[in-house]
Structure 1
């Protein structure tokens, strides 16, 4: 069982990032979705330290924010942003042309607009959060990827091709697939309860966690109902929309 989990972790490492293959481990891709939220937290931590490093070396807040976001695209290969653009092109193409528009390698006007809109919001949020980024960005990226577990659980897989492999094919149910993430968030909560002596900060962070659960469930539900299922592009769109929404909520409350 332990060896199986390690192989799936190696598979998720390859699938969700552009990092090199882990040595001496043969990757598996059957149940990798369960590892996406912690990997998101890890990616967010790297991006945060890039931002902090640049700020501590006299880079402007604007340049630091832009490079922070660019590093995320580099680490993920732009996988989720591509899904966001394709999904919005599909939604506004109408029901009959939806899958064709999502499959098309060309980006439409609605896809471009979604990218610009989301990027501007993320930049604005980073400028507001600034030095709090190390506490904010990792958990926002965690919630973005956690939303996919709700997505896969509730909706059927819609494919462009007759023969394609889906997370749904090897899905073991939400309880089992989300167990790792639930343990992770419990540890995160415990750490924050020990770190924040101020009752006001404890209340704010508890509220943000509840909002994270709500947003992680609501956005994929809206997308799934709109496109009548899920696929890789829709999962990418869910990740970006959820993490952006959570960035915005943290910017307001913090």
Structure 2
């Protein structure tokens, strides 16, 4: 039981900037539990953002409030996944033999920066005109569920990092619990097609990166989360579901 709570604390610490659960001890036994809680952390973030939206809605114009929610999302996640997104993009603009080396570089390259800024503008615009904020917990949960699915089902090609420990320790029972709880929440929201949309995004990303590199890295997990979020927001924004 202690490892479960430690895993939850580690998941919150890794995926958010919330100051209450700062734990970075990736010791054996808690890393699988941490990954198991990724979708829950996404749901929690979405619930916080939805609560802020509902509180401010009577006082702030809808467009500006959407930008505030976007800014809070960036602050609460510490732009962690955006960093992975930018590093992944940088890796696409060099020969694949050098891509992993480029992605590990702590400095963001020109194309990563340009694409990252463009991506942020698209996400800010999406949230500025978004109306279904009660679905934010579901959107953020499904984007992180995609990362969990990628960790469990697809090869991890980096030689070190949290991804190695996560893949080694994420057990089948933990994966089944994550799937069951996530699917139950999708049913409660009655948004099964949104889950299908998220899985299609993961399939496209998986097909591309396994063909290019043979698997995933921590940066590609972040890329997966960011792209899934943006796609799901726009699927809802455009009324496609």
Structure 2 distance, partners of 1:188, 1:164, is 31
Matches within 5 A, 1:10-21: 10-21=9-20
* 2:179 aligned residue: 182
What TM-score do the two structures reach when normalised by structure 1?
A: 0.81
What is the aligned partner in structure 2 of residue 50 from structure 1?
52
Q: 1:154 to 1:27 in 2, by over 3 A?
A: closer
Aligned equivalents of 1:125 and 1:240: distance in 2?
13
Q: How does 1:1-254 map to 2 (within 5 A)?
A: 2-22=1-21, 29-31=30-32, 32-57=34-59, 59-130=60-131, 132-135=132-135, 137-159=136-158, 164-165=161-162, 166=164, 167-173=166-172, 176-193=173-190, 205-253=191-239
**Contact 1:38 1:142 (8 Å CA) reproduced:** yes
Contact 2:43 2:138 in 1 (8 A): yes
The alignment of Structure 1 onto Structure 2 pairs a total of residues equal to 233
Alpha-carbon displacement from aligned partner over 1:110-149 (angstroms, at most 9, x marks no partner): 212322332232223223322x2122x2111111111112
Alpha-carbon shift at residue 22 of structure 1 (Å): 4.1
TM-superposed deviation, 1:249: 0.8
Contact 1:18 1:77 in 2 (8 A): yes
Larger Rg: 1
The answer for unaligned runs of 5 or more in structure 1 is 194-204
Distance 1:163 1:83, change over 3 A: closer
TM-score by length of 2: 0.85
Q: Which runs of 5+ in 2 are unaligned?
A: none
User: Are the structure 2 counterparts of residues 94 and 208 from structure 1 closer, same or farther at C-alpha, using a change threshold of 3 Å?
Assistant: same
